[in-house]
Structure 1
């Protein structure tokens, strides 16, 4: 093999190492932080979280009745969680109920009560439950 082919092969093999880390290569907590963290401080606060959750609610709410049912929620909450988030027991949650659920999950994912959630906290079970509501 000629020296130029060897150099070309070496360059091709080394090229992926020089690429920046993409969103796909980042852990889930980091991707969620990047999607929600509007002030780019590396954490998400409740206001940022609720803003994204409100947009997610609007995207999921397909039938224009102002509520989400289990089908529209697409597995983001279990039947029991839906029941708990549904104080009027109509089998659906409206935007205020959805945001209340998001706030409860935010607080559960913030064990140090500093008002922010970092990527490490998002990788906990409570953080993952919150992240499901933000996708």
Structure 2
């Protein structure tokens, strides 16, 4: 017999996990240009490039820490900045996006579904797309 406590625990877990699942599911819908229910690297890079353009208000082709608005920590920015100029070019930004895509794709099938986007690595990737 299922106790009231077990039911309450199950409902709490469902409520707490619901927004994350719906957020990752909506990310798939938002960026899934071929409507296959998953995101591939090309779709993710297209979304990242569009965000890069929106985050670059001075149109100098780079993003500094202020323009990145917390999407990368100072340590992550330094690691992603090979020329050490304190900014990321589009290519440098897309390189970080690709690294995070690969980290979120443990089955190495080349696509991310809502479950993979809900992982820690998937959420780190989504921070670079929103």
TM class by shorter-chain length?
0.7 to 0.9
| Match among 4, 26, 32 for residue 27 of structure 2 | 32
User: Taking structure 1 as reference, are residues 117 and 69 closer, same or farther at Cα in structure 2, changes over 3 Å only?
Assistant: same
- Structure 1: which 4+ aligned runs deviate by more than 2 Å? none
Q: Give a deviation string over 1:16-61, Cα, whole Å, max 9, x none.
A: xxxxxxxx89611011111110011110000000011100000000
Question: Deviation of residue 114 (structure 1)?
Answer: 0.2
The equivalent residue for 1:42 is 37
Corresponding position of 1:102: 97
Is 2:90 the partner of 1:114?
Answer: no
C-alpha distance in 1 between matches for 2:112 and 2:79: 24
Give the deviation of 1:63 after TM superposition.
1.3
- 3-state DSSP of counterpart to 1:33: helix
- Cα root mean square deviation, aligned: 1.4
Q: Secondary structure at the match of 1:68?
A: strand
SS at match of 1:27: helix
Which residue is equivalent to 1:67?
A: 62
C-alpha distance in 1, partners of 2:57/2:33?
A: 26
Say if 2:21 and 2:118, in contact at 8 Å, map to a contact too.
no
Shift of 1:123: 0.5
Unaligned runs of at least 5 residues, structure 1: 1-23
Matched positions, count = 112
- Quote the Cα distance in structure 1 between the aligned partners of 2:96 and 2:20: 29
TM-score under structure 1 normalisation? 0.80
**Corresponding residue for 1:132?**
127
- Superposition TM-score, scaled by structure 2 size: 0.83
